[in-house]
A and B are shown apart, each in its own frame.
Chain A
Amino acid sequence: METSLLYRNLPSEKLVQELGTDKDGEEYIQHFIQQRIPHHEARFGQYLNIEKTGRKKLRTPRKAANLRKKQVLSAADKKQLKLFDIPEDQQKYKLYEPLHHLWLAYMRDCLRIPPISAQAQGIKLLKCDLHGSFMKVTKSTCPTYIGMCGILLQETKNTFKIITQTDQLKTVPKANCEFTFVVDELVVTIHGKHFRLKSSERALKGKIKDKITIDM
């Protein structure tokens, strides 16, 4: 039977128009990434490069056996890719003021409607998202951190990334620090020592043990 009746190759010109390229396979993926994340083009392209290079410069790709596991980027990969970094031109305090107002509205929603007891408020606060809050470091074993304040942009497992009013992005470790933020009349103090969870994990299973000390 003639296969040409059953199927035909896709018209190449149309494909090229749709996809924007006539490259194939790996080259296509590289091109795709470059289109979407322009400033990461060099790095990601290198990542896909199968040639073995020195460990210091690049990570070697995962072996086939490991591919069965969930493919998550490790901390070293993230650092190298700079996916979670905020570029310099976006490190302006004014850009994030609307975020802060959004967050305030979200917090009011969370804590007020319906009216709840202080204990329940406490539980809710544990689970709520703090991105956009105006945090201030009130106590710390390291004196230079004391007094730092700004809008929270990123929360990692062990740090808070805050942008100060002087447009500086500061990374403050949670351990050995106490933070304070204000929502209308409510003043909340966070003991960083007991808050060392990723914000996503905290929202799901945020539980503080009963016997805790507030000494740093």
Chain B
Amino acid sequence: MPRLLYLCENINFIVPNANIKLEKVEVMLPGCESLPDVIQDISPDLDSYYLVKRLPVVELVKEEFVKEILRKGHFTGISVGTRVDNHTVVAVLPSGHLILSVDKDLYQELGLSGKPSKYTGRNATRFVVEIDLFNANHSNGKKQYNRVLWSLKDRLNLTFNFIFSWEPINEEKVNFMQLTRLWDKYVLEDLSIVSHTIQKTQTTVVPKLSHNQSLVSTPGDGQDVSSIYEYIGTISCDANQVGGPGIYSSSYTCPEPCEEVKGITCQRWSGLISSEKIKQLLKALRSFVKSDAFVPWAALTVHGFDDSPVSWWRKEHGFHKNGCNLYTILILPDDTYWLYMAIGTNDECP
């Protein structure tokens, strides 16, 4: 039975970096009519990400690349146009792992050992190959390194269109000289992060959240956490909520208890966003909510790629009827957070 699961946790500290591949980020601020400057300064659309066409996978494995690029910054990359249930998907994580999600025929020709996917039953039709690029054995002259190079290059020359983002640790500006030098044979395209704003200037009603609210959800009860999440969702989708009396269609009302605010801003950025940016946003939102009295809470929603081979904590992610892997952090002024996670059928509960 396909199922969707919602988890809610009440926590007092920032969730550590969970290595999810980030496609969309949404920030919702009730009580603000426009995005505050604090957030605007660090907005993701100041960054850009890159597309490389027909990049051979072997380029991501070479020692030079690992030393000069992977170890010196946060490199996140994923192949484009490939579906995780049909094709081969390649992903590179900032922790130095190269993940290949391959189908049975390719796995039987490739020559690298991997594990069968958890979501395919007895006769495995998908396999996941994980290569640790930061391992000491992954260096020139060692057997493992030669084997990896041989199977990715000589055996089957796998090439993909790849999007990536790279943030070097020690430099202020992204210095692409090294990367363009290594990949001068391939076409590099600059892609910008798209942003979309929803603003409501009239007074709207939002749920009132308190840190001692019970998290045990009882369906039907207006106070439960899942209806709060649903309401936040309707705001972010810009759905027409209120029908008014006398109209046959039921009207959707804010779960009790609720309060009135002057306006809501909902800003969405889509593209490949690095997890470092999320950390910065979270920090900024946290201090903003504390400082501004008109803002009762803030919500940060992060969506992962549908076709990503990995999800939280490098666990396997699959696509059944949908590939949702997203989480929302509701930031309250007293330094507490609510974390909602939505997982699909072919996902492991983190």
Contacts and interface: CB of A to CB of B under 8 A. Distances in A.
13 contacts: A139-B109, A140-B108, A143-B107, A143-B111, A143-B112, A143-B114, A144-B113, A146-B108, A146-B110, A146-B151, A147-B111, A147-B150, A147-B151
Contacts of A144: 111, 113
A216 B123 CA distance: 11
Interface of A: 138-141, 143-144, 146-147, 216
A192 to B, nearest CB: 12
Nearest to A148: B111
B155 interface: yes
A177 to B, nearest CB: 9
- Interface size band for B: 10 to 19
Interface in B105-123: 107-114
Nearest to B107: A143
A147 B113 CA distance: 13
Contact of B155 (A140, A141, A146, A216): A146
A143 B111 CA distance: 4
Interface string B165-203: 000000000000000000000000000000000000000
A141 B151 CA distance: 15
Interface of B: 107-114, 150-151, 155
Given A139-B109, A141-B108, A147 B114 contact: no
- The dominant DSSP class at the A interface is mixed
Among B111, B112, B114, residue most surrounded by chain A Cβ atoms (within 10 Å)? B111
Nearest to B150: A147
Given A146-B108, A216-B108, 15 more contacts: A138-B109, A139-B108, A139-B109, A140-B108, A143-B107, A143-B110, A143-B113, A144-B111, A146-B109, A146-B110, A146-B111, A146-B151, A146-B155, A147-B111, A147-B150
A102 B150 CA distance: 31
Contacts of A216: 108
Contacts of A138: 109
Contacts of A143: 107, 110-114
A143 B156 CA distance: 14
Nearest to B155: A147
A165 to B, nearest CB: 14
B123 to A, nearest CB: 10
A27 to B, nearest CB: 53
A73 B150 CA distance: 43
Contacts of B113: 143-144
Nearest to A140: B108
Contacts of B114: 143
Contacts of A141: 108
A140 B155 CA distance: 13
A140 B108 CA distance: 5
9 A-B pairs closest in CB distance:
A146-B111, A143-B113, A139-B108, A147-B111, A143-B111, A139-B109, A143-B112, A141-B108, A140-B108
